[in-house]
Amino acid sequence: MNAHTLHATSIVDRIVNGWLGAPSVKVVQRTTDLPANGVPEDVRGMYRSGETWIDAETQSASTVPDTLAHEALGHHSMRELLGANWRPFMSAVIDGAARGDWRLQCFRDEIQSTYTDDKGCCNLSRVGVADEITAAIVESRFDGNAGRMKIARPGIKLLEAAKGHLAREALYLNRPASFEELEGTILAAEHRLRFGGAFWGVGFRLKRWYASAMAKPWNPNKAPMSLAESERLLKAEKYRRDSWEEWKGMAHLVLIFILVGFILFGVGSFLIDLFTGFRH
């Protein structure tokens, strides 16, 4: 590994060490070391199968943070944040560009021109274009020195992201995404990347604490569990499962009674209003 690759690796390590939810990041010395065949000679990075790859050969040290953000945040963390909703959201981004959001249109036109072959055909799918739009915005807004996104009015952008998510995922509205909503979603993805999850990574921290607290040194000289101990553990587990099933059955009955009460109360009120002529 030459000096330039070592320098690029140190830059990557400095930024990734501040990310609790960072993917696996590998810095390679040559383009031929990337996990794909036939990649362009000027490729700077790659995201594949949950791993981020940085090519030190094709870029200077100053662009390494941008490439890292492009791959780790723009591609990996957005997928982690949105899960099954990632593809529909990417379609909404393209819809936003098609319906006149000029900032999305500018990024879309740049991406399509970059990925157009000699025959004038874009080599990216509709979702692929939106994916690269997102990564390009990340790259343009990332501060490599601070290792953070620099987006103006972050609170408003996060609110736009929440509104868009509610409209599409809860109300099932076919709503295009705006540039502000995309920036807010990127901020949410960065939050997940930095803290390992939502709400400052509370769940991630609890799981890590639980794993470390419950980890006990293995004693190879400890006697194996006796048959009586095994039977006692099995009985305790069976009792726990049976108790849980009983509680679930009782909960279902309570919910049914509540539902029936609401129905009867509603029908009764309607009949009283109908025959008495009273209206609220």
- Tens-place pLDDT, residues 20-61: 999 999 999 999 899 888 888 889 999 998 999 999 999 999
Helices 198-214 and 179-195 meet at what angle, rounded to 10?
A: 20
d(CA 80, CA 152): 24
Task: Please tell me the pTM assigned to this model.
Answer: 0.72
> How far is it, in rounded angstroms, from Cα 231 to Cα 224?
14
Looking at the predicted structure, is the pLDDT value of residue 203 above 60? no
Under 8 Å between Cβ of 29 and 57: yes
Look-up: residue for tokens 């100053």? 62
Expressed in percent and rounded to 5, the helix, strand and coil fractions of the chain are 65, 5, 25
Instruction: Please state which of the ranges 36-45, 136-145, 208-217, 270-279 shows the lowest mean pLDDT.
Output: 270-279
Contacts of 273 (CB under 8 A, 6+ apart): 279, 280
Cα(133)–Cα(110) distance, integer angstroms: 9
The beta strand positions in 107-240, using DSSP E, are 142-143, 148-149
- The CB-side HSE value for 242 (13 A sphere, CA atoms) comes to 6
pLDDT category of residue 274 using cuts at 50, 70 and 90: very low
Do the Cβ atoms of 12 and 27 come closer than 8 Å?
A: yes
Residue 279 pLDDT: 45
Residue 278 clears pLDDT 60, i.e. is over it: no
Residue whose tokens read 């009985």: 235
